[in-house]
Amino acid sequence: MNLSVEEKLAIFKNFFRGREDVFAVYWEKADKSVSGYTPVCANEWKQGLCYKLQRQKCKDCPHAKYVGLSDYYIDQYLRGQKLFGVYPLLESNESYFIAADFDGKNWVKDILKFYNKCREYDLPVYIERSKSGNGGHAWIFFEDKYSALRSRNIAINILREAKIIDQFAKEDSFDRLFPNQDEHSGKGFGNLIALPLQGKARENNNTIFLDANNDLSPFSD
């Protein structure tokens, strides 16, 4: 499809929607000993405002000025210049998608079991290989925001029906759901999920979507 940059950005924003008032950027120390995500702040490193300059934690900063995920940031992300994540749980305790995270040596087998069980219920589900290449996300998108309590309930029951989660299993590849909470605890923004289709990771065929009907080969488009 011959789409303009604006059209591609609009498609991306339509699917991978989280909170509109805040998103997170990945960081790591130069020696790669420590890494993580932190909310993007317009006052970061500003003298007299940023708590990082005082070696204090961002979550305690009274000057935090979070920003939303605009076209500018998405363009950076898709070109591989940054790595971002979104917070799927909205303030209304709803979300625009639910995603199941699988890791470990059995992730392919289990994510396909989840995929096939979803298809039995006519639930369209899309498989993405994660940034590391050693796991994957199974995404289910909603036409509009939907109760996290209900969507998580559905996903958990599908996982059980597919015999993916078992209290006696020792090699369970399922890790968590995004969102990972039914409702906000009152602290922070809830868990975040890294966005797919990151430019740098795509060079290694990671963060891309895979065709479940074609041996998990990457989709050409």
What is the C-alpha separation between 141 and 188, in angstroms, rounded? Answer: 24
pLDDT, position 48:
78
pLDDT, position 2:
86
pLDDT, position 188:
85
Cβ count within 10 A of residue 21: 14
The ranges assigned to domains in the chain are 5-86, 94-218
Q: What order do you get walking across the sheet with 84-86 strand by strand?
A: 35-39, 24-28, 84-86, 193-194
Q: Note the CATH architecture for domain 94-218.
A: 2-Layer Sandwich (3.30)
Report pTM. Answer: 0.91
- Strand, coil or helix: what is 152? helix
- Strand, coil or helix: what is 128? strand
What is the C-alpha separation between 32 and 133, in angstroms, rounded? Answer: 18
The answer to whether residues 193 and 178 touch, using CB atoms and an 8 Å cutoff, is yes
Enter the tokens of residue 184: 């906000």
For 191, what's the count of Cα atoms within 13 Å in the CB-facing half-sphere? 15
Mean pLDDT by 10 residues, the chain (221 residues): 89 95 91 87 80 71 88 95 97 98 94 97 97 95 97 97 78 90 91 96 96 94 82
Q: Is 182 exposed, middle or buried (0-12, 13-18, 19+ CB in 10 A)?
A: middle
What is the C-alpha separation between 139 and 137, in angstroms, rounded? Answer: 6
